[in-house]
Structure formats: C-alpha cells, structure tokens
Amino acid sequence: MYSDFEGRTEQEAIDKAVEALGIERSQFDVEIIENTKKSFFKKSNVKIRVYYGDDSSADEYEEDEEEPSGSDSIEAVNDTEKKIIEFTETLIQKMGYECSVSVSFRRGSKIGLSIESQDSSIIIGRKGKNLDAIQLIVNVYAGNINPDIKVVVDSENYRMRHEEQIIRTAYKTAQIVKRTGKSKLLEPMNPFERRLVHTALNDVDGIDTKSEGEGLYKQVRIIPQGK
C-alpha cells in the first residue's frame, strides 16, 4: 500500500505521514515524487509517497513467491492461457525470433510465462528493457480478455537473477556511503526495482533512501542518516 503526503520540507511531510498512518518511521519507505524549491512566487513544497504494509501497487514486474525455478513448466489449463501463450509466441516471432512459451507459475489471477529461445539475450535486452516491453504488450492483450489477469514474462530466470544483483549492489553502495559519509545515486530503475532497494536497505543502520527524478525510471539516492 502507499499514500502521498505534502509538506514544506521532506521532514514535515514524513511527520504528517507518521501522524496520519499511526506507524513508526522505520515501518515505511519514502519516495520523493515532487520537490518544489522556494522562489519569489512560490513556497517550497515536497510531496512524498510512503510505502507501507504489503505493497504490490508499484509492482508490474514482481516475481511470484511460489514461482518454480529452472525449466519447470505448467500446462495451460484454459483457452485464456492458451491465447496469451499463442499471442506471446506470435509477437516474438514477428520480432524475428523463434521461441516457445510456457506457463512457469500460476497464482490466483497472476500467471508467469517463460520464454525459451536461442535468442534469449536479445529478447531480454539491455537491463531487461525488451522483456519489460514484451510484458507490457502481453498484459494489454491479456487485459482485453480478462481485466483481472496479470502476466509476468521472463526468460532464462532473468528477473530473479537481476533482482539479486540489484540487492547486492544496494548493500555494497550502502556500506560505501556509511564509510565515506557521502550520498550516492544508483542507476535509474523502474518502480519495482526501486521498491526492492528501499525495502532491502530499510533495516540498515545509519542509512536512508529516497527516489529522485521524473518518469518511470528514477534513481535511488542512498544517504547517511540525518543528512
């Protein structure tokens, strides 16, 4: 879950969140979504987004906790799943690559698709952006069949490996920040990837995190606590 709060400063907005939600600062993550500097015509204003509880709202890319690993696959059980698989295979073939697509996990209205291809590295793309684009198109198609369906598209277990790498980098950078006392920016990430960093570093003593930038891909800044 998430809620938005505003204040003249980041701390004022955080204080409002603590009061409104009735939880401690350590129980939520903060993302700065707007920071208006004071000028002759405008007062300073900071708008933050507070993530708390079991949040999946920023999660277009989330892996399912019960997803089998490796090359395990599950047979499609209904016409909807068969249509989504056929659409995904056709989409990739129209991109110029041969592939086979299977169901890798199923939980409620969420299903995972695994793409097997000799051209997996191209299908995944740099930092998974091709895979994200394919997933977006597949979800648009699936939503026209059933608005409740959510599809996670993966290839060669890329998403799990990528998430592990993000968390390792976040921890390593946090140690550098603690040692030097200087903040550091991570590379631009999508909402789910930023959420991973905020959550992973939430319990690291002496460290705060916040997101900076505009659009879908923002950067997480790791900051010495109190600065």
Across-strand partners of 70? Answer: none
The answer to whether 31 touches 51, Cβ cutoff 8 Å, is yes
pTM to 2 decimal places: 0.59
pLDDT at 224 over 50: yes
Instruction: Summarize pLDDT for 79-89 with one digit per residue, the tens.
Output: 899 999 999 99
How far, in Å, CA of 15 to CA of 18, rounded?
5
How far, in Å, CA of 72 to CA of 88, rounded?
18
Work out the average pLDDT over 184-189: 92
pLDDT at 65 over 70: no
**Per-residue burial over 126-164, b = 16 or more CB atoms within 10 Å of its CB, e = otherwise:** ebbebbbebbeebbeebeeeeeebbbbbbbbebbeebbe
Helix (H) or strand (E) run with residue 197 in it: helix 191-201
More confident residue, 102 or 26: 102
More confident residue, 109 or 135: 135
Question: If we measure between CA atoms, which residue out of 90, 112, 110 comes closest to residue 100?
Answer: 90
Question: If we measure between CA atoms, which residue out of 217, 227, 219, 140 comes closest to residue 180?
Answer: 227
